[in-house]
Structure 1
Amino acid sequence: MKKILLLLITLIINNTQAQEVKTLTYFQNDTLKLDLDLYLPKKKSGEKIPLILFAFGGGFSGGDKMQEKNFGKFMSENGYAVASISYSLYMKGKDFGCKGILTEKIKAIQIGVSDMWQATSFLIKNADKYNLDTSNFFVSGISAGAEIAFQASFWDYKLMNLYENNLPKDFKYKGLIGGSGAIMDINLITKENAIPMLLAHGNNDDTVPYNAGSHRSCPTNASGWLILFGSYAVYNHMNDLHKDVELITSCGSGHEFCGYIFHEGQQYVLDFVNNVLKGKKFQSHLIIPSEKKNAGSEKYLFCE
């Protein structure tokens, strides 16, 4: 009898947490078609669902929206919607490193950000259809996707959007979740426009700087030299502004740590979203030791 009861309880829980995935075209013209995978939890009719928009990593030259399907399933099973977007891979077949062209690298980011804004606008327009809470849209990403999330949050979309400016006036994301990402101009984050952030980064990352530094560790005379402000720089800036931020640092890890919070650390994302929606205030810096750490490295100074 107990086994039957446990089976019934399990079936009820699974049915409550069951989710569906819809592939939707959010932008299309004569030459381009962009889709997103929308992971939706089973909710009562009329109940508005917070949403996390997600952009995959891959240096603007590779990757796929299906890469983080387990993250989409995890969050939807816990009551949140996730929109994992495809976006234009402008750097495919081009050099996104030190020998690349700076203007091309910036253009790749601008196109990806414009695609994120298009996806956001599409989901706002279709919010009633999918019971989405437009006042609680989070933006997130890994590596290049996290760079999209940063710029999408703080660039002026009226000036930087390559498509129609169709986001609602004064639109703001509810929060930002970034794995090994960076922003090009840290001064774009102000006391007035700052949003809560959950950031994760390896302090020995030589692709996207952990603090302030050059992309791909390029020398200043490289044609692809690009200054970036990574997670630790943003964390300190947010603290100076007295704004909510959490940083998870993996001591000794490189760029391979970029997907941690979307893979092994999914609970951190769930707790962060829950806390933001509850209005909880926080400022924290969690250190995760790594077997790769090197106490003799200058970069290790940030992991004291």
Structure 2
Amino acid sequence: MKYKILVVICSLSFVVFSQTKETYIYNIKHVDTLKLDVYKPKNIKQGDSLPAVLWMHGGGFAGGSRANIDEVKFMEYLTKNGYIGISISYRLLLKGSKTGFGCDCPKTFKIDVFRQAVIDYLDAAKYIVENKTKLQIDPTKIIAGGSSAGAEGVLNAVYLKHFFVDDVSKYKNVNFAGAISLAGALVNANYISGENAIPTVLFHGTDDNLVPIGKAPHHYCDPDRLGYLILEGSEIIADRLHNLKASYYFQKTVGGKHELCQIPFPELDNILDFFDKTINKKQVIQTKYITQKN
């Protein structure tokens, strides 16, 4: 029951307002037609090439939508601040599953769900790079971002591409300038290196019972359960980036649970300022904030 409630928190799918946007199909996989919504500033001019945030929603790989209320609100914020916002759909491989993504979901299946999410995300990134002129994006300034399940997909796409993808040459023109992870984790943070480290924003609660902030089993499953899978969360990722002298912005909320997957609207100005300094001005910034849950 806790899992279902948290999925609802992170994946509200009813949109009560809308914006002018362009929708494109970036791939068709079996019964899934995968689309992305491109939000542009109203004052964008012909020939402009803007930075973009490529966003992957949460929902436990079972629900959620690229048009969640908060996703649309976030896209609106981005367009008002000189960015193009792109919110994608991807295959929800656990939709209708009896096990969910918890301890009854076999480890091997969890790994494959991560793999397919990585591939979907990279396919979306490949599409926007190949259509950079039409979409008016700067392919050197694409920020990868996601929440909860989306954050897991994004982090693994950014840092574990060579682990999950057999033919990485398909994505040779896909490069990310930065990353945003809201309550996400990696399968193995050792894949973060001096060559692939990019400015990374991390939000996580110390008491997240689904996605560990440190190194721990996914959903804190016991070792004898089918779903026992060790993940490495934001604390491990931040430490790895710190040791590599790479930029990061880590907000750790003591007592916080999986609600840290929600888009942190009060912090968005600070996040964009961090990316301006680290991407545009090439500064190295290592910031860790420790807050207390209200």
TM-score between both structures, scaled by the size of structure 1: 0.84
1:77-226 counterparts in 2 under 5 A?
A: 77-94=80-97, 95=99, 96-156=101-161, 160-161=164-165, 166-169=170-173, 171-226=174-229
Residue in structure 2 matching 1:274, options 273, 276, 288: 276
Letter aligned with residue 137 of structure 1: I
Q: For each residue in 1:51-97, what CA deviation from the matched residue of structure 2 results, as whole angstroms up to 9, or x when unmatched?
A: 11100111111110011110001011111011110000011122210
Identify if the C-alpha distance between structure 1 residues 92 and 30 changes in structure 2 by more than 3 Å, giving closer, same or farther: closer
1:58-69 counterparts in 2 under 5 A?
A: 58-67=59-68, 68-69=71-72
| Percent identical residues | 31
Indicate if the aligned counterparts of 2:160 and 2:191 stay in contact, CA closer than 8 A: yes
Letter aligned with residue 93 of structure 2: Y
Letter aligned with residue 39 of structure 1: Y
Q: For each residue in 1:256-282, what CA deviation from the matched residue of structure 2 results, as whole angstroms up to 9, or x when unmatched?
A: 121142x34322332222222222220
Indicate if the aligned counterparts of 1:200 and 1:260 stay in contact, CA closer than 8 A: no
Indicate if the aligned counterparts of 1:202 and 1:258 stay in contact, CA closer than 8 A: no
Q: For each residue in 1:112-156, what CA deviation from the matched residue of structure 2 results, as whole angstroms up to 9, or x when unmatched?
A: 111101101110111011211011111000011000111100223
Q: For each residue in 1:170-207, what CA deviation from the matched residue of structure 2 results, as whole angstroms up to 9, or x when unmatched?
A: x4210110101000011100112111101011111111
Partner of 2:232: 229
Greater relative contact order: 1 or 2 (C-alpha under 8 angstroms, separation 6 or more)? 2
Partner SS for 1:265? helix
Partner of 2:53: 52
Q: Which ranges in structure 2 are unaligned for 5 or more consecutive residues?
A: 1-18
Q: CA deviation at 1:105?
A: 1.0
Cα distance between partner residues in 1 of 2:132 and 2:172 = 13
Cα distance between partner residues in 2 of 1:139 and 1:33 = 21
Cα distance between partner residues in 2 of 1:178 and 1:97 = 20
Indicate if the aligned counterparts of 1:179 and 1:200 stay in contact, CA closer than 8 A: yes
Provide the aligned C-alpha RMSD in A: 1.8
Partner of 2:35: 35
Q: For each residue in 1:200-224, what CA deviation from the matched residue of structure 2 results, as whole angstroms up to 9, or x when unmatched?
A: 1111111100111111111111110
Indicate if the aligned counterparts of 2:118 and 2:161 stay in contact, CA closer than 8 A: no
Cα distance between partner residues in 2 of 1:191 and 1:100 = 34
Letter aligned with residue 25 of structure 2: T
Cα distance between partner residues in 2 of 1:92 and 1:57 = 13
Alignment size in residue pairs: 270
Cα distance between partner residues in 1 of 2:221 and 2:186 = 17
Judge which range, 252-261 or 204-213, deviates more. 252-261
